[in-house]
Amino acid sequence: MTRSATRSATKPHVGEEAQAPKGERTRRAILEAAVDLASAEGLEGVTIGRLAAELEMSKSGLFAHFGSKEELQLSCVDAARQIFFEQVIRPALRGRRGIARLRALCDEWISYAERKVFRGGCFFDAAAAEFDSRPGPVRDRIADNWRDWMSMLETAVRQAQAAGELDPSVDPRQIAYELNALATAANKNAQLLGEHDAWRRALVATHRLLDSLAVAPPSGG
Task: Choose the contact partner of 61 out of DNA, a second copy, none; CB within 5 to 8 A by kind.
Answer: DNA
> Which parts of this chain interact with a second copy (CB under 8 A)?
39-42, 44-45, 119-121, 125-126, 128-134, 139, 142-143, 146-147, 150, 173-174, 177-178, 180-182, 184-185, 188-189, 191-193, 198, 201-202, 204-205, 212
Q: Which stretches of the chain bind DNA, using CB under 7 A?
A: 19, 21-24, 26, 46-50, 52, 56-65, 67-70
For residue 169, the partner it binds in a second copy, DNA, none, with Cβ less than 5 to 8 A by kind, is none
Q: How far is the CB of 16 from a second copy (least distance, A)?
A: 36
Cβ distance to DNA smaller for residue 48 or 163: 48
Handedness of CA 210, 103, 99, 157 (dihedral sign): positive
90 binds, among DNA, a second copy, none (CB under 5 to 8 A by kind): none
Nearer to a second copy, 90 or 200 (CB): 200
Beta carbons within 8 Å of 104's beta carbon, 6+ residues apart: 91, 92, 94, 95
Ramachandran angles phi, psi of 108, nearest 5°: -65, -40
49 makes contact, choosing from a second copy, DNA, none, with CB < 5 to 8 Å by partner type, with DNA
